[in-house]
Amino acid sequence: SLLAVAVLVLSLLWWMSTRRPPGLPPGPGPALPLLGHLHLLDKDFRSTFRKWRRQYGDVFSLYMGGRLVVVLNGYQTIKEALVKNGDVFSERPSIFVMDRIVNNKGVAGSSGAVWKEQRKASLEILREMGLGKNVLAEKVQEEVTHYIKALHSYQGQQVDVSQMTHISISNNICSIVFGQRFEYDDSFFNTLLESVDLNMKTVGGSVVLNFMPWLEYLPGDLFKFKRTLANVDFVENNLIHPVLKEHIDNHTEGNASDFIHAYIREIRKREESGQPTTVNTENLLKIIGDLFVAGTETTATAIRWALVFFLHNPDVQDKCYDEIQRVVGTERAPSMRDKPELTYLEATIMEVLRRGNIAPLAVQHGLSRDVTFHGYTIPKEAIVLPFLETALLDPEAWDEPSAFRPERFIGPDGKLKKPDELIPFGVGRRVCLGESLARVELFLYLATMIQHFRFLPPEDGRLPSLEGVLGVTYSAKPFTVRAVSRK
């Protein structure tokens, strides 16, 4: 009975410690010891969040395990936090798994001065590659021809394009980062893809540790965290590091032919000036990982969503096709120069990004200090989730938000219009670093795909689901499609 009393007292202490103190944003009732409100969340916890938003308003809070999480809803609220209060809301939170893997290096998971310097350096390099001759677009355009060839090889038979899309989009990152693309059966390339993929899978299981870090001390590797760490190590040391070394050994002054060379140039520049800096090979190594992780699944998911919407809306496909016929014809590949004239295609891409809702909760934000927001006090330790979906599918902003309708982006003058609520890449200082690359990719892939093919459902006419699954991204469920040559 002494044990029972002890358990009761401890539980009570836990309960007190996870009870929402006064001043915090409202949210669901008392948190359970250890679990917080995790037990109340649906498997797809967006539905629970939507319910709580209706109940508690645009800023609500909950406990995931012992961690306080604040969810921001609606475009105005998200903008007010991430833009107007961008000096406070632009960090990444300290989270067990990320702390161990990222260790405040690179760009996607770092904070403070490190993040500022890495973000600026990476963005400048990507911008440089996207300007003038547009090396970035040239590399993507080359990869698109291989992707189209792969689609043609199925000769109009039904196929699940997930794998080949993933491979092709990763190859763009290879071209940009390493300066070379790989054949789809190249062994280095496939090991790299498999390892990154394995990481995405195992790290998913480790997420539990973010909210209950003490579980780390259980024997074995129940949450596959040790496996994840070993795999990250393998990717960095056995795959990326050799390429990095080869670049360093062969770097000639001013060479900026790919991301790694351009970054090495920046390292050398800073070495010469003798200024203290975080621009070094350790951070470069992490950034390379960031670009693969953040830049592959997202864009590949967008292309798969585009196909889902094409199958449901053959008229949209045909309108895009007619426009491409008129502007580009069949004799040459579409290029970035065509973009200003392909208005309907552009509107279609915007609608794919909106309705596809690829990153419904963006990436977790952290705070640089305690902050008063909407009259509430949010402590520095909170994890902040910008619920982008509430802007992308806001019924106040969009007529029939779940309908796929590119026309909503075309004004009465025939010109494109971009409503504020279209924020698939987030907003503020942390806005997606790869937005311009993603836009180049989506434009060149979709324009060329439509130029070559009419996309049809499989013979049995079965259409893919319009409901996706929430994982690292919100992605379309597996489906097959027939890419029938327009010729």
Q: Measured from the CB atom, is 181 or 430 closer to ligand HEM?
A: 430
Coil, strand or helix at 165: helix
Output 65 or 106, the one with its CB closest to ligand HEM.
106
Q: Among the candidate windows 219-227, 241-249, 337-345, 430-438, which touches ligand HEM by CB under 6 A? A: 430-438
Shortest reach from residue 155's CB to ligand HEM, in Å: 29
Q: Give the 3-state secondary structure of residue 423.
A: coil
Residues 389 and 361 sit within 8 Å (Cβ to Cβ): yes
What H or E segment, with its residue span, contains residue 231?
Answer: helix 225-234
User: Among 434, 457, 464, 468, which residue sits at the site for ligand HEM (rule: CB under 6 A)?
Assistant: 434
Write out the H or E segment, with its range, that includes residue 60.
strand 59-64
H or E segment to which residue 270 belongs: helix 259-273
Q: Which of positions 388-427 make contact with ligand HEM (CB under 6 A)? A: 424-426
Tokens 């909503």 label which residue? Answer: 408
* Contact assessment for residue 67 and residue 412, using Cβ atoms and an 8 Å cutoff: no
Question: Could you give the angle at the alpha carbon of 121 between the alpha carbons of 119 and 123, nearest 5°?
Answer: 65
CB 431 to ligand HEM: min, Å: 6
H helix or E strand, kind and range, residue 320: helix 314-327
Q: Binder to ligand HEM among 24, 41, 70, 358 (CB under 6 A)?
A: 358
Whose CA is closest to 452, among 329, 301, 310, 340?
A: 329
- List the x/- string, 116-135, binding to ligand HEM by CB under 6 A: ---x----------------
* Residue 412: Cβ within 10 Å count: 6
> For tokens 């899978």, what's the residue?
201
Write the interaction track for ligand HEM spanning residues 274-313; mark x where CB under 6 A is met and - where it is not.
----------------xx--xx--xx--x-----------
Q: How far apart are CA 401 and CA 392, in angstroms?
A: 8
DSSP 8-state assignment for residue 216: G
Tell me how many residues contact ligand HEM (CB under 6 A): 25
Nearer to ligand HEM, 91 or 323 (CB): 91
Q: How far is the CB of 464 from ligand HEM (least distance, A)?
A: 19
**Span from 206-214, 225-233, 263-271, 433-441 in contact with ligand HEM (CB under 6 A):** 433-441
- Between 59 and 212, whose beta carbon lies closer to ligand HEM? 59
CA distances from 300 to 42, 66, 188, 291, 476 (A): 26, 34, 21, 14, 11
Smaller CB distance to ligand HEM: residue 27 or 424?
A: 424
Shortest reach from residue 391's CB to ligand HEM, in Å = 11
Q: Check binding of 140 to ligand HEM (CB under 6 A).
A: no
- Residues near ligand HEM, by CB under 6 A: 107-108, 119, 290-291, 294-295, 298-299, 302, 358-359, 362-363, 386, 424-426, 430-434, 437-438
